[in-house]
């Protein structure tokens, strides 16, 4: 909508309202998509879920085309940007399904590795996780390049810069990718619901036939959880690119305002759009951005491990304090375990959250105030001069590098964790369905170990990285004036 204001002379108020109308249509499309999800007991649940997704996508595409025709003057290059986003979303879902569905090679290879023990299960799961970013990165790269080009072509007759045209194209692609967000959210919640339903069935000693049904639903739920996280990563990548561009524009605007306040004109041709990796502050900022992702992930996984230890200690303590639990004559204090988990969910994430907010602030302020010692002038590098003094951009540049490389590393790490965790979980489900000896076999015991390793990957650290990526962009954008 903000970008639409820059195109007000072209599209008028319609250009500003365009995102609202498109996503209103998308909500209706998702609603209809949910309604068509139904299945017989002998069918794979994923077939019904995929059918709803296809219906949602087709309706969203039709609505997008109508909105472009009536609100953006039928500029079909811009519709092409939206189609790129929709196709990107579709490919992300399919790629993630391939890596986490029991029918395909990656999950089955992890199950096969379980035949030789937990160690080979974990090795195979990590290998699958490291393989998963390859295709999604190619898809994101193609989406960014094509949507940028389509944006330039679609707005070729307007007076704004080619860069702004390209950014508008990527923004529309992001809208296209989010066109099925409501349906994807429904698929995401399907996973935990079926998982907990299976747990209830197992704890209440229901017949095996009932458990078989919930196992099938649970396996589908594991896949939907993984593919919706992959979808979230893709949308975060496109959105983070826009926010990174907004950061560059914000810094440029701050410098221009300082010239204006001093009664001077910003030198012609200067803009804060090129970040030079040959500059020491930029290179160090990039290193810190990559490091931040790994350190944040470590804190999140450690939080799960510590909380698990607290739970185990409490369970053992309750067995000692109340022997009737094992005898079946008294019930355990479930509330104690719930209090431990809910308290830890808040307390254990304070440090990772503070790290995400304070790191860009610290990097920007350090290089701003110590730039005389750390900054190395690059021959040919041009910096604006205000009132006889060169404006030092070391702090802003270091933060830009932190944001850029942190985003890239975060996207890759989130893919690795989400998909490897989902693959480990479904490898266990695949064995439980009867493969390699079924439940209580040696392969199943190994798969349980792998699934336990994958849980903090896919349920804690991986999803948290989606938030971290956008949080980094938002924090740097808001704090940009402090870095100059």
pLDDT 10s digit of each residue in the chain, 484 long?
Answer: 777 887 888 888 988 899 999 999 999 999 999 999 988 877 888 888 889 999 999 999 999 999 999 998 888 999 999 999 999 988 888 888 889 888 889 999 999 999 999 999 999 999 999 999 999 899 989 999 999 999 999 998 888 888 888 888 998 998 898 888 889 888 888 888 888 888 888 888 888 888 888 888 887 887 787 777 777 777 777 777 778 888 888 888 888 888 888 788 777 777 787 788 878 888 999 999 999 999 999 998 998 888 888 888 999 999 988 888 888 888 888 888 889 888 888 888 888 888 888 999 999 999 888 765 554 555 455 667 766 666 778 888 899 999 989 988 998 998 899 889 989 988 998 898 888 888 889 999 999 999 999 988 988 888 888 888 888 888 888 888 888 8
Residue 42, token pair as written in the block: 């002998």
pLDDT of residue 388: 64
pLDDT of residue 212: 80
CA-to-CA dists, residue 385 to 256, 277, 421, 483, angstroms: 12, 22, 52, 17
Helix, strand or coil, per DSSP, at residue 390: strand
pLDDT of residue 180: 87
As a whole number of angstroms, the distance between CA 472 and CA 356 comes to 7
Q: What is the separation of C-alpha 70 from the centre of its chain, rounded to a whole number of angstroms?
A: 32
Rounded to 5 degrees, φ, ψ at 205 are 55, 45
Q: Which of 101, 128, 209 is nearest to 454 (CA)?
A: 128
pLDDT, tens digit (0-9, with 9 covering 90-100), for 148-184: 999 999 998 888 888 888 888 998 998 898 888 889 8
CA-to-CA dists, residue 140 to 53, 162, 272, angstroms: 20, 21, 25
As a whole number of angstroms, the distance between CA 399 and CA 425 comes to 38
pLDDT of residue 288: 95
- DSSP labels for 95-121? HHHHHH-TTSHHHHHHHHHGGG-HHHH
Compute the C-alpha angle 422/423/425, nearest 5°.
65
Element (H, E) at 386: strand 385-386
pLDDT of residue 374: 53
Query: What is the CB-side half-sphere exposure of residue 50 using CA atoms within 13 A?
Result: 14
Q: Write a three-state SS string for 246-304.
A: HHHHHHHHHHHHHHHHCCCCCCCCCCCCCCCCCCHHHHHHHHHHHHHHHHHHHHHHHHH
Q: What is the separation of C-alpha 338 from the centre of its chain, rounded to a whole number of angstroms?
A: 28
As a whole number of angstroms, the distance between CA 447 and CA 454 comes to 10
Q: Which of 163, 41, 196, 111 is nearest to 425 (CA)?
A: 111
pLDDT of residue 152: 92
As a whole number of angstroms, the distance between CA 282 and CA 401 comes to 6
pTM above 0.85, yes or no: no
């Amino acid at each position: 909508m903000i970008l639409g204001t820059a195109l007000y002379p072209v599209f008028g108020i319609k250009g500003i309202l365009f995102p609202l109308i498109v996503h209103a249509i998308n909500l209706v499309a998702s609603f209809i998509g949910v309604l068509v999800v139904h299945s017989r007991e002998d069918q794979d649940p994923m077939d019904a879920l995929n059918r709803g997704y296809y219906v949602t996508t087709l309706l969203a595409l039709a609505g997008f085309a109508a909105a472009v025709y009536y609100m953006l003057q039928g500029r079909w290059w811009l519709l092409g940007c939206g189609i790129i986003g929709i196709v990107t979303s579709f490919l992300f879902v399919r790629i993630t399904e391939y890596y986490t569905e029991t029918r395909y090679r990656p999950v089955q290879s992890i199950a096969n590795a379980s035949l030789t023990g937990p160690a080979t299960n974990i090795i195979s799961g990590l290998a699958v996780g490291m393989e998963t970013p390859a295709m999604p990165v190619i898809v994101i790269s193609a989406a960014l390049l094509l949507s940028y080009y389509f944006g330039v072509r679609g707005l070729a007759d307007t007076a704004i810069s080619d860069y702004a045209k390209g950014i508008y194209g990527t923004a529309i692609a992001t809208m296209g990718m989010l066109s099925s967000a409501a349906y994807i959210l429904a698929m995401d919640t399907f996973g935990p619901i079926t998982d907990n339903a299976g747990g209830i069935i197992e704890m209440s000693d229901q017949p095996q036939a009932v458990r078989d049904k919930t196992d099938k639903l649970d396996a589908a739920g594991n896949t939907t959880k993984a593919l919706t996280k992959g979808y979230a990563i893709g949308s975060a990548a496109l959105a983070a690119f826009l926010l990174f561009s907004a950061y560059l524009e914000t810094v440029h605007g701050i410098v221009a305002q300082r010239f204006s306040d001093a009664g001077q004109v910003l030198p012609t041709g200067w803009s804060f759009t090129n970040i030079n990796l040959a500059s020491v502050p930029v290179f160090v900022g990039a290193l810190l951005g990559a490091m931040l992702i790994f350190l944040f992930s470590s804190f999140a996984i450690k939080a799960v491990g510590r909380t698990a230890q607290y739970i185990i200690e409490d369970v053992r303590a309750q067995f000692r304090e109340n022997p009737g639990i094992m005898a079946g004559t008294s019930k355990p204090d479930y509330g104690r375990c719930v209090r431990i988990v809910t308290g830890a969910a808040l307390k254990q994430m304070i440090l990772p959250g503070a790290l995400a907010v304070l790191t860009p602030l610290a990097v920007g302020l350090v290089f701003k105030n110590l730039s005389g010692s750390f900054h190395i002038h690059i021959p040919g590098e041009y910096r604006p001069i205000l009132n006889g003094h060169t404006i030092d951009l070391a702090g802003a540049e270091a933060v830009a590098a932190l944001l850029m490389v942190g985003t890239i590393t975060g996207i890759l790490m989130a893919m690795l964790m989400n998909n490897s965790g989902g693959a480990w979980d479904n490898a266990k489900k695949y064995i439980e369905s009867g493969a390699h000896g079924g439940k209580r076999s040696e392969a199943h015991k190994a798969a349980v170990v792998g699934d336990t390793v994958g849980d903090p990957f896919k349920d804690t650290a991986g999803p948290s990285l989606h938030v971290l990526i956008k949080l980094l962009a938002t924090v740097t954008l808001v704090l940009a004036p402090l870095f100059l």
